[in-house]
Amino acid sequence: MTEDEDGVRAEFIAEAQEIIELLSRDLLVLDHGQKEGHPDPDLINSVFRGVHTLKGIAGMFGFYDLGEVAHGLEDLLDQLRLGRVELSQEVLDVLFEGVEVLQRLLASAPDAPRPDLGAFHRRIQSQLGGPAPPPPDLAAFGLDTGVLSVLTEYEEHRLRTNIDQGVPLYRLRVRYALSSIDTDLEDLKSRAKPIAEIITYLPSMDGGDDDSIELEVLFASRATVRELRNALALPDEAELEAVAKVAPSATIPPPARAPTQQPASPPTRFPPPPSGLAPPAPGHDGGADALSLRAVAKTVRVDIGKLDHLMNVVGELGIVKSSVGKVLDRLRGVPELRALAAELHRIHRGFERHLDDLQDGILDVRMVPLGQTFDRLARAVRQVAREHGKEVRLAVSGADTEVDKLIVEELTDPLLHLIRNAIDHGIETPDERERLGKSRVGTLALNAYQKGNHVVIEIEDDGAGMDEERIVSSAVARGAITAEGGAELARSDKLALIFLAGVSTAEHVSDLSGRGVGMDVVKTHIARLGGVVDVHSQPAVGTKFTITLPITLAIISALIVRAAGRTYCIPLTVVQEALLLDPREVRTVEGREVITLRGATLPICRIARLFDLETPAEARVKEYVVVTSLGQRRVGIVVEGLEGQEDIIIKPLGPSLRSVRGFAGATDLGDQRVVLVLDAPSLLEEVFAATAATEARGARGEASA
């Protein structure tokens, strides 16, 4: 495959991926609506359009299998939106399966063997409805034939449905400037959405000039004229009137026949359109396609590598900025150049401001809402719950919380894992729940929110919870801790044992407690993103995992410190405070140094000892403790000096240093000064592991004594 073809293929895949994700999102909402008993017809139509577009581009790019599946789904959706097939859980199952199939096809290699899609097509066929609908009988509705003759099949269906349900019809005549009609229409649609259903809109004959166009909008709503005027924020000159009383029983000849008598109603507002403004042919929703094209044109897909490059350039500009600052300082020292220095100072300040804006802008582009990930999870919840015969209600909050794109991508797997565990092992079967006096439907809550420089994601179930004693005994069985050590652990520490590699890889834990398979993997994943995961659980009540992540990986504020005669950066996101170390405060517990900070014990670690470095003798005049915390753990890092705070770009160390633990990367502080950035989560981990090991050794020693 040539490079060009690769590019085209990648472009298609990206676009198709977007469409499929949107489909999946809409289907989930539909699923919810169906369960509540009122699926949104607009959404069915939106899903239909999405599949239609997908079919089109798949054909264009030679993804024939994918196109065929999309075609099958389109047939089913077409019947759904026209009301010929009822939206049922079975139909939704097929549609969800369709999304999975599409995704699988998209992910498969270009030269992979063609999958057998026969079974899936048969399932689609089995859902397809039967006979054509009864002939339309709309004409006598105070609607003139001009309108009726140009309605698409779908619009006609919606009109009929509304009439059948006794929803009054309205006609709106409103003028929009040609230059802004797109946004005006979108605005009208979104305002109408909560209280009215727009059935169709057409340009009116008698009211167009060079700069503006008059639209006739037909819609159904139970609201009054006054309410509609307010809700739609109509300009005063817009005309809004009820079309006619709805008479569902009226027998009316179909529109194809000659126009019958009109009720005494306003003059004809829907003349047959001139050929130049021909509306879309029935059955082909051209208007909708045009709209989706517009939506696409407003966004640009960007390779994240390009953003990284821009970020690098920003970093270099930052170095330029500090060099200019130094020149400025030198100029200031020369009396006859004062004026020049002042001018340069102003320019420098401006440059700094714009550079900050640029940096914020690039960071902002990298941010995506967690919603995309949550949608994927919601699909998994539905699937896993059905597989295991559980009834699960998913409660999502904070889907609009934004996180760095890279983090979002790495987050899906660990979250999926936690969710699967929660449904598989946490939430009981409906019968079991009933017996326990719980509601038959289990609840899985997915909450996200921002907390300072971090994003917190919680996964909480109201299932069986975890039994910490069983976790401890299996950890003891694996030799990860001693029985005595285990007995002394606090409750939360016992639960945290599920994250130990030695324990969690043991099938025993998952057998006994129902959790643990791959929990260490979840933890490693999260740690790689600079985050931590904590667990709370109560037997019979439920389990809650809390993941704390930095918002972005690209640029961080860091504390610059001197330790062991060297300079290091500590990400400010983990720094709680820094204070002067009083050497008299240091106590030794089990061979570890600790201090007491506001009544709580704080383990401290010395960089020199941690990294096995020789400290220059003169360095140790004063020492500071930088209190770092992640989740619920705190460690004080002892340093010799605090040099200030700076925004830094973390750059990865090369492959040959990948196995070196303890550093998140390095950064350029200018002056050719490369400084290592401490990897706080891994260092915290290390200090705690060492503490735990000491305790375990201590416990063993006592036991043998």
Partner 1 sequence: MSGGPIQRRETVVPAPLGRAKGRAERMGEQTREFLAFALAGERFALPLASVREILKLSPITEVPRAPRDVLGILSVRGRITTVIDLRRRLRLPHGEVTRGARVLLVDAGVEVLGLLVDEVFQVYRLSPDEIELAAVVAGDLSDYVYGIGRPGAVERGAAADEIMILLDPVPLLRR
Q: Which is nearer to partner 1, 506 or 669 (CB)?
A: 669
Among the listed residues 154, 219, 270, 663, the single contact to partner 1 using CB under 8 A: 663
Does position 673 bind partner 1 by CB under 8 A? yes
Cα-atom radius of gyration of the chain, to the nearest Å?
33
User: In terms of Cα–Cα distance, which of 545, 549, 540, 481 is closest to 509?
Assistant: 481
CB of 312 to partner 1, least distance (A): 5
CB contact at 8 A, 554 and 665: no
Exposed/middle/buried for residue 472 (C-beta within 10 Å: 0-12, 13-18, 19+): buried
CB 676 to partner 1: min, Å = 7
| Lookup result for tokens 């890889």 | 505
CB of 672 to partner 1, least distance (A): 5
Coil, strand or helix at 541:
coil
**If we measure between CA atoms, which residue out of 319, 312, 321 comes closest to residue 665?**
312
* Closest distance to partner 1 from the beta carbon of 349 (Å): 24
Rank residues 328 and 613 by Cβ distance to partner 1 and give the closer one: 613
Q: Which is nearer to partner 1, 451 or 673 (CB)?
A: 673
Choose between 106 and 317: whose C-beta lies nearer to partner 1: 317
Token pair 């300072």 in the structure block, residue: 452
Q: Give the number of residues in contact with partner 1, rule: CB under 8 A.
A: 26
Minimum CB distance to partner 1 smaller for 487 or for 660: 660
Residue of 577, 652, 701, 702 that binds partner 1 (CB under 8 A): 652
Q: Which region, judged by CB under 8 A, interacts with partner 1, from 257-265, 278-286, 497-505, 663-671?
A: 663-671
Residue 336 or 612: the one with the smaller Cβ distance to partner 1 is 612
Q: Which stretch binds partner 1 (CB under 8 A): 78-86, 531-539, 637-645, 670-678?
A: 670-678
**Which amino acid belongs to residue 97?**
E
Identified binder of partner 1 from the candidate list 123, 348, 566, 633, rule CB under 8 A: 566
Closest CB to partner 1 among 679 and 695? Answer: 679
Q: Taking CA 328 as the corner, what is the angle to CA 327 and CA 329, rounded to the nearest 5 degrees?
A: 90
Number of Cα atoms under 13 Å in the Cβ half of residue 252 = 25
- To partner 1, the closest distance from the beta carbon of 567 in angstroms equals 8
Binder among 666, 680, 687, 699 for partner 1 (CB under 8 A): 666
CB of 643 to partner 1, least distance (A): 15
Q: Residue 170 forms beta bridges with which residues?
A: 219, 242
Say which residue the tokens 């460690």 belong to: 635
Quickly list DSSP for 365-407.
HHEEETHHHHHHHHHHHHHHHHHTT--EEEEEE-TT-EEEHHH
Strand partners, 561: 568, 642
Pairing state between β 674-678 and 566-571:
parallel
What percent of the residues of the chain are helix, what percent strand, and what percent coil, each to the nearest 5? 50, 20, 30
- Which residues in 303-332 contact partner 1 (CB under 8 A)? 312, 315-316
Alpha-carbon distance of 424 to 543, in angstroms, equals 13
Q: Which of these segments, 98-106, 363-371, 469-477, 660-668, binds partner 1 (CB under 8 A)?
A: 660-668
Q: Which amino acid is residue 60, in one-letter code? A: M
Using rule CB under 8 A, residue 532 touches partner 1: no
Neighbours of 337 (CB within 10 A): 13
CA gap 51, 40 in Å, rounded: 17
Token digits of residue 250 = 């009226």
- Candidate list 278, 342, 579, 657; residue touching partner 1; CB under 8 A: 657
Q: Which helix (H) or strand (E) holds 408?
A: helix 405-421
**Residue 107, interface with partner 1 (CB under 8 A)?**
no
Choice between 452 and 655, CB closer to partner 1: 655
Nearer to partner 1, 311 or 526 (CB): 311
Closest CA to 404 of 457, 365, 459: 365
Among the listed ranges 403-411, 415-423, 514-522, 669-677, the one in contact with partner 1 (CB under 8 A) is 669-677
Q: Is 589 left (phi over 0), alpha (psi -120 to 50) or beta?
A: beta
551 lies in the binding site for partner 1 (CB under 8 A): no
Considering the complex, what minimum distance in angstroms separates the CB of residue 669 from partner 1? Answer: 10
Tokens of 347: 């320019």
Binding mask 612-651 vs partner 1 (x if CB under 8 A, - otherwise)? Answer: xx-------------------------------------x
CB of 569 to partner 1, least distance (A): 11
Confirm or reject binding of residue 388 to partner 1 (CB under 8 A): no
Among residues 489 and 683, whose Cβ is nearest to partner 1?
A: 683
Among 367, 662, 688, 694, binds partner 1 (CB under 8 A): 662
Who contacts 163 (Cβ-Cβ below 8 Å, separation ≥6)? 138, 141, 169, 246, 248
611 binds partner 1 per the rule CB under 8 A: yes
Residues that bind partner 1 (CB under 8 A): 312, 315-316, 566, 611-613, 651-657, 660-663, 665-666, 668, 672-676
